[in-house]
Every structure is written in C-alpha cells, then in structure tokens.
Amino acid sequence: MKDLSKCLMEGYYEYIEEVQLEFQKSDKYQELRRKLDENEQAIDNLKVGDSNLQDLIRQRDDLQLELYAMCETQTIKALVNLIHR
C-alpha cells in the first residue's frame, strides 16, 4: 500500500509540474509576470524616500499575490482533473 501511495504522489507531483509549466506559457501569466518585473525594476530605480515608493511596493505586492493565487488555482484545477480521470 505504501508503494501505491508513493507512486500516486509522484504521479501527482509530475502532473502538477506539467500543468504549472503549461500555465506559465499562457498570455495572462506572461502579462502579469511582465508587469511584476517592470514594477520591481521601477522600485530598484527609485531613491530611498521617494514618495512613489510605497505605492509601487503596494502594487508589487498586489501583483505577486495575484500571481500566486493564479498559480494555486491552476494547481487545484489540476488536482481536480487528476482525481476525475
């Protein structure tokens, strides 16, 4: 039984990895990643004490949270699809 459980978990992790890699190719993911990269670059270019810094940090945090939530949603969808196969 342990071997079957281990095999199922390995299959699950491989499937999730494939789904995540496929999702990372999507336009929505790429656009969000681009915005996040631009935001991080803008923060890096700012001098400490600039009044725009806090707003940019908030925007970055929001984008990171959105990206994380999208990835987690895809993981859950992949798990549901795997269960229903």
Indicate the residue type of 76: I
**How many separate domains does the chain show?**
1
Q: Given this model, what pLDDT does residue 48 score?
A: 60
Domain of residue 49: give its range: 2-83
Mean pLDDT by 10 residues, the chain (85 residues): 78 86 89 90 72 81 92 87 80
Q: Given this model, what pLDDT does residue 39 score?
A: 86
Q: What is the pTM of this model?
A: 0.53
Q: To the nearest 10°, the Cα dihedral for 69, 31, 29, 64?
A: -30
Catalogue the long-range contacts made by 10-15 (C-beta closer than 8 Å, 24 or more residues apart): 12/79, 12/82, 15/78, 15/82
Q: Given this model, what pLDDT does residue 9 score?
A: 82
Q: Given this model, what pLDDT does residue 47 score?
A: 60
